[in-house]
């Protein structure tokens, strides 16, 4: 266990914003967790669990607490048959590494999550999804350290209340477990079945345009990566936090009226949920490519905000408000931020 002091959050997060954290503890193995939380308790400080910082934003004021940096990595096979693979994945493992591990051996279930930045732990917490697949479709359960009880537990997926960008780990409300657990590993079940049903619009268009008729895992992974490479900045080199706003979910009964009111509005069925891409709303509001308080609305994907010259969280906050107001005035929808904030 390594303890550092006064580490800039801007150096740990891909949006490159944020003042210093009072302490940072590097969690390199599960045995570090007991001593780490003993340190947190002894100093009577709040704590925050951080992965690779790709979906997290720091604020202008210093974080007077302890950031626990999740560096747990590794993939372990728990069971395998001809048609099914169950693996235990340490939550500091990058989601891309897990996708490659699966696809390279022709396992299915997460190929559409290719090139999604972040760790497996972050993907579990927010039920990460892309192009019609979500973590909830392959997640069996998680191993975690119960901070309150000081013991290790297993939580089955049915107890996580997973839905769109939501779990008990990142939510408020009566079922919230926010701040209670450090998730150490995810149990993932993969299979040999190709992605079924109607493909997400841009993925379908890409496959048609490139003459691809199969849905093999490797084909879907390559297509998704090419789409994302051409639309989304690499957060390792271009300061951003990935998709900045959640898509809008709507009731099926409201769709006819929405399509009549807003010509060409895209509405997709993702699992059992109907979604409107927030990037399309932002583009239609005339903000694609706009520079707002040092934050650039990407000219390739309006859902992405790029930190070109915003030196503070305050500037980001002003840009966010301007975008949300424009979409609200034009469409009546309330945009919700996707990245978490360290507070």
Per-residue DSSP letters for 39-78?
HHHHTT--EEEESSSTTEE--SS-EEEEEEEE----EEEE
Contact 104, 33 (CB under 8 A): no
In the chain, DSSP assigns E strands to 2-8, 20-27, 47-50, 56-57, 63-70, 75-80, 84-90, 129-130, 133-134, 139-146, 151-156, 181-191, 240-243, 248-250, 268-270, 273-276, 291-292, 295-297, 304-307, 340-341
Which position among 54, 167, 202, 243 bears the catalytic label?
243
- In the annotation, is 165 catalytic? yes
Which position among 26, 28, 338, 341 bears the catalytic label?
338
- In the annotation, is 317 catalytic? no
Which position among 16, 59, 88, 165 bears the catalytic label?
165
What is the set of active-site residues? 165, 243, 338
């Amino acid at each position: 266990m390594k303890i550092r002091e006064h580490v800039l959050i801007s150096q740990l997060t891909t949006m490159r914003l944020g003042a210093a954290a009072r302490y940072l503890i590097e969690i390199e193995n599960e045995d570090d967790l007991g001593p780490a939380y003993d340190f947190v308790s002894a100093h009577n400080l709040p704590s925050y669990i951080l992965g690779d910082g790709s979906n997290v934003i720091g604020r202008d004021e210093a974080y007077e607490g302890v950031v626990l940096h999740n560096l747990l990595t590794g993939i372990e096979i728990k069971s395998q048959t001809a048609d099914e693979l169950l693996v235990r994945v340490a939550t500091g493992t990058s989601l891309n590494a897990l996708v490659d591990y699966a696809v390279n051996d022709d396992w299915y279930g997460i190929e559409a999550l290719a090139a999604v930045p972040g760790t497996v732990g972050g993907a579990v917490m927010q039920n990460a999804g892309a192009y019609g697949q979500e973590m909830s479709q392959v997640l069996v359960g998680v191993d975690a350290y119960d901070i309150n009880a000081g013991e290790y537990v297993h939580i089955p997926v049915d107890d996580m209340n997973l839905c769109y960008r939501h779990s008990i780990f990142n939510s408020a409300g009566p079922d919230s477990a926010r701040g209670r657990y450090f998730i150490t590993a995810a149990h993932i079940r993969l299979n040999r079945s190709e992605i079924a049903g109607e493909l997400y619009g841009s993925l379908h268009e890409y496959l048609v345009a490139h003459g691809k008729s199969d849905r093999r895992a490797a084909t879907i992974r390559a297509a998704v990566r090419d789409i994302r490479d051409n639309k989304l900045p690499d957060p390792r080199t271009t300061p951003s936090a990935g998709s900045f706003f959640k898509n809008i979910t709507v009731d099926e009964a409201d769709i006819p009226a929405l399509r009549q009111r807003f010509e060409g509005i895209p509405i997709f069925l993702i699992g059992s949920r109907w979604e409107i891409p927030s990037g399309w709303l932002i583009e239609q509001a005339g903000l694609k490519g706009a520079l707002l308080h040092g934050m650039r609305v990407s000219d390739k994907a309006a859902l992405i905000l790029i930190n070109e010259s915003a030196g503070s969280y305050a500037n980001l906050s002003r840009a966010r408000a301007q975008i949300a107001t424009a979409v609200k005035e034009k469409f009546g929808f309330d945009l919700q931020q996707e990245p978490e904030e360290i507070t």
